[in-house]
Amino acid sequence: MIDRDTIASAMYEAMRLAATQLPPDVEAALEAALDTESDPLARRHLQVSLENARAAQDGEGLVCADTGFPLFFIAAGARTEVAGGFGALHDAAAEATARATADAYLRPTMVDPLTRVNPGDNVGPGMPRVLLRFEGEGAGLEIVAAPKGGGSEIFGTFYRMMYPSDGEAGILTFVLDAIRDGCYAGKICPPAIVGVGIGGTADLCMELAKEAAVLRPIGQPNSDANVAALERKLFDAARSLGIGAMGAAGTSAVMAVNVETAVTHTAALPVAVNAQCLVGRRWRALISADGQVRFTGDPT
Amino acid sequence: MNDTIRDLTLPLSEEDARGLQLGETVTVSGLVFTGRSLLHIRAIEQGIVPPIDFSAINCFFHVGPVMRETAAGWEVVSIEPTSSIRFERYSPALVRTLGLRTLIGKTTMGPGTAEALREVGGVHLSKIGVCGNLLRRQVKRVVEVHFLEELGKTEATWVYEVERFGPFFVDIDAHGRNYFAELDDLSRERLAAVRRELGVPEDFAYTEVNP
């Protein structure tokens, strides 16, 4: 049985770490982008971003001041028990988010969409977002805290319901247009991790794209060879658009293109794109059944 | 790091603004004020502007800073320039009304702002990289804050005294040129070539269900 306070403090700590540390795979991908980028301004963008992140790691500020939307992706096992029931996850997430905001690890950024009133704690209807899925036979909880920046979410979200006859030409057209549009003037803060969802319902399609962008480790291709080949094709094409880091000239527009699929209606070909920005914030808390908590920036 | 970069004194003179080259890297020293969407909307729709002397405090920094209140007063945690293009609806009017010669933000703005800057003799400076912690080091003093109660910490107008603040690059100059607009033409051509290589038919169009 895992108690609520353990979950709330693990969520707080994961959010604090996400806001102040680059995940190791993201840092390595930025270093790799710097190794291959030749445009001087794009190189400066990458160098400054790495230096800025190191300052945050050393206790000065945040990896990016736009801490964006507070998201928690939670995986529970078949035998996981939470004191007070799974509804406690929402309370714990709200408490962790408000506390991280009060301690200035999160900027107060969530507002009412119509009145634009800012409650100051990033908590309100729908936020923080808690996405719970069940997988495996375990009894623990895996929580990924992801403060998702405005640039990538606001300028890097695209959806289109296509039809079977649009085929791969349609998918390539849609995704490459989305990447060019999002990378223009650095709107999504490239080098981006581009998540692509294909199939499902409209909401599932978008969720696949978001999880592909936020959760998938960089450098890990889709396990399906056909999908992995599509990822490679899109990745190489994105690097040939003449766009580099932060929208400068260059080649470093993307760190990864990750595609996830779901079965869909025989009449439909829904495609979604969701981008993650160059700081790729996510940190993981692993809670065992007896309440032991371990934090890691390494992807699973 | 900034010692060798050309430093501009704020408020920027028209002569200095007109002399800046597109793509040039600079820092600024003097007083800046902050704001984002709500400042623009309120200023133009309702005529509510922060009670500051815009002839002296003339550099508009597009940012929602992360601020922390301590016993010694307000301190900056991190200040990441935000996407300026979001303000394009109101920005040309604001530049003209307040006579703004320096905008600092993240990357591009539209033709309306470029035209307004050309008229008043001003520039837009873009951030380089994700840089909010490095910029924080160059804020010498939090001078004052306006509308904090009404708008909250993120949208309030903060006035900072900065020294060798940057570096930034000139992405819109005082002659109407825009670095990103010029780059966009190139990526459009590249995209067409990439599509051909991938075998996407030249005349591909999405299936139209409302013919």
Residue A121 maps to which CATH number?
Answer: 3.30.360
Same domain, A11 and A109: yes
**Is A40 found in the same domain as A94?**
no
For residue A60, give the chain B residue with the closest CA: B133
3-state secondary structure of B98: helix
8 Å CB contact between A107 and A131: no
Straight-line distance from the first to the last Cα atom of chain A, in angstroms, rounded to the nearest whole number: 23
A123 touches chain B (CB under 8 A): no
Does residue A186 form part of some domain?
yes
Q: Tell me whether B84 touches chain A (CB under 8 Å).
A: no
Cα A157 to Cα A180: distance, rounded to the nearest angstrom: 12
Tokens 């899925």 belong to A133
The answer to whether residue A26 is domain-embedded is: no
Residues in chain A, pLDDT under 50? none
| Number of domains, chain A | 2
Pair of tokens at residue B102:
């320096």
Same domain, yes or no, for A199 and A78?
no
| Domains within chain B, CATH numbers bracketed | 2-180 (3.20.130.10)
B207 contacts A165? CB cut-off 8 A: yes
Contact: B194, A184; criterion CB under 8 Å: no
- Helix, strand, or coil (residue A190): coil
Cβ–Cβ under 8 Å, residues A227 and A261: yes
- Specify the pLDDT at position A280: 98
Q: How many residues in total does chain A contain?
A: 300
Q: What six digits make up the tokens of A3?
A: 């108690």
The reply to whether A258 falls in a domain is yes
Domain assignment present for residue A27? The answer is: no
Residue B151 touches chain A, beta carbons under 8 Å: yes
The answer to whether position A170 is within a domain reads: yes
Q: Is B51 on the interface with A (CB under 8 A)?
A: no
Q: Cα torsion for B144, B146, B150, B153, to the nearest 10°? A: -40
Nearest chain B Cα distance for residue A101, angstroms: 10
- Residue A67 sits in the same domain as residue A137: yes
Contact B58, B100 (CB under 8 A): yes
A102 touches chain B (CB under 8 A): no
Q: How many CB atoms lie within 10 A of CB B205?
A: 10
B102-105 vs B123-127, strand pairing mode: parallel
Give the pLDDT of residue B2. Answer: 66
Q: According to the model, what pLDDT value does residue A282 have?
A: 98
- Let me know if residue A28 belongs to a domain: no
**Which active-site residues of B does the annotation give?**
40
Assess whether A92 and A11 both reside in one domain.
yes
Q: Cβ contact (<8 Å) for B153 and A120?
A: yes
> How many C-alpha atoms does B64 have within 13 Å on its Cβ side?
26
Q: How far apart are CA A298 and CA A284, in angstroms?
A: 8
> Residue A70: which H helix or E strand, with range?
strand A69-76
Mutation target to probe the B interface, by most B beta carbons within 10 A, among A43, A184, A233, A279 is A184
pLDDT per residue as tens, chain B (211 positions): 566 899 999 999 999 999 999 999 999 999 999 999 999 999 999 999 999 999 999 999 999 999 999 999 999 999 999 999 999 999 999 999 999 999 999 999 999 999 999 999 999 999 999 999 999 999 999 999 999 999 999 999 999 999 999 999 999 999 999 999 989 999 999 999 999 999 999 999 999 999 8
User: Nearest-CA residue of chain B relative to A46?
Assistant: B129
pTM of the model: 0.94
Q: What is A73-120 written as a DSSP string?
A: EEEE-TT--BTT-TTHHHHHHHHHHHHHHHTTSS------TTT----S
Task: Using an 8 Å CB-CB cutoff, list chain B residues near A169.
Answer: 199-201, 204
Residue A259: other Cβ atoms inside 10 A: 26
Please check whether residues A9 and A51 belong to one and the same domain: no
Cis peptide before A113 (omega within 30 of 0): no
Instruction: Please check whether residues A47 and A186 belong to one and the same domain.
Output: yes
Specify the pLDDT at position B1.
55
Look up the domain containing A46 and give its range.
33-57+151-276
